[in-house]
Amino acid sequence: MKANSMPASIILGLSFIIGMFLLGSKLYNAKKSSQFVSVKGLAEKEVKADQGSWTISAANNGNDLNYIKNNINEQVSTIEVWLKEKGFTEEEIKVEELSLQENIYGNVQYRYSARLQISLATGKVDLLDQVSGQANELIDRGVSLTGDRWLTRPRYFFTKINEIKPTLLAESTKAALTSAKEFADNSGAKVGGIRRASQGIISLIPANRVNESEEFYLQKIARVVSSIDYYIE
């Protein structure tokens, strides 16, 4: 006696249904995986510089070599003494340049030109901020200050980026997730996992947000922007 066999038409029908189900499932998952939202999260923190530097430049011109040599050395001594009187130490003060040039070409007014640069590197940033505004006292003491405002302004540096980095990145990621949830809520969807994430570099800007280098400002804002793609379900 022959066993009952399933008609070929039924087998083909079941195969078609199963195939369509599998295809539909793949298409659904593919569509689901392609739905995502790109958001950015901003985090900011006000910080204060912990290191500072200042370059003081001076010069003199003349036709008497001995006078020029003595005068430029006197200016070096005057600047060093003045800085120490203000509260800086010898270790923080350095003579960067001390040069004397003979002008032998062309019809020059002075035969000799001397110039000097003294740098100050310190962690006493509040004192530096105060003293740098008193540089006119050096003129009263006979120092021939030179240089434009970009060269003569003190610079301030924040060196503790790594200490605040974890907190800033966590806050920027949280801000990005908040934006993604707001988008999902407005769309009647839910936020899924992270598709792709890019953590920005921490940058510094002046605390007053002027369009100028942050190095010229004691107070700064550390900021970072994280870019994240979230799946939407």
Please indicate, yes or no, if residue 143 is contained in any of the structural domains.
yes
Q: Is residue 213 helix, strand or coil?
A: coil
Q: Please indicate, yes or no, if residue 25 is contained in any of the structural domains.
A: no
The token pair at 88 is 């800086």
User: What would the pLDDT profile of 164-176 be if each residue is shown by its tens digit?
Assistant: 999 999 999 999 9
For the ranges 4-18, 106-120, 213-227, which has the lowest average pLDDT? 4-18
**124 φ, ψ (degrees, to nearest 5):** -85, 70
Q: If you average pLDDT over residues 96-117, what whole number do you get?
A: 90
Domain-terminating residue out of 95, 128, 157: 157
- Burial (CB count within 10 angstroms: exposed 0-12, middle 13-18, buried 19+), residue 72: buried
Give the C-alpha separation, 166 to 137, whole Å: 44
- pLDDT exceeds 70 at position 42: yes
- Domain with 167 in it: 36-48+160-232
Position 10 pLDDT exceeds 70? no
The share of the chain scoring above pLDDT 70, in percent, equals: 85
83-94 residue pLDDT tens:
999 999 999 999
DSSP 233: -
Give just the sign of the alpha carbon dihedral 25, 27, 28, 33.
positive
> 150 and 212, same structural domain?
no
pLDDT for 31 equals: 46
- Is residue 30 scored above 80 in pLDDT? no
- 112 and 165 fall within a common domain: no
Q: Which residues pair with 202 in a beta bridge?
A: none
Domain co-membership, 107 together with 125: yes
For residue 9, the model assigns a pLDDT of 54
* Position with higher pLDDT, 53 vs 185: 53
pLDDT band at 19; cut points 50, 70, 90: very low
pTM flag (> 0.85): no
* CA terminus-to-terminus distance, the chain: 56
Which pLDDT score is estimated for 179?
92
Q: What is the pLDDT of residue 1?
A: 44
Whether residues 118 and 187 fall in one domain: no
Question: Are residues 193 and 231 in contact, defined by beta-carbon separation less than 8 angstroms?
Answer: yes
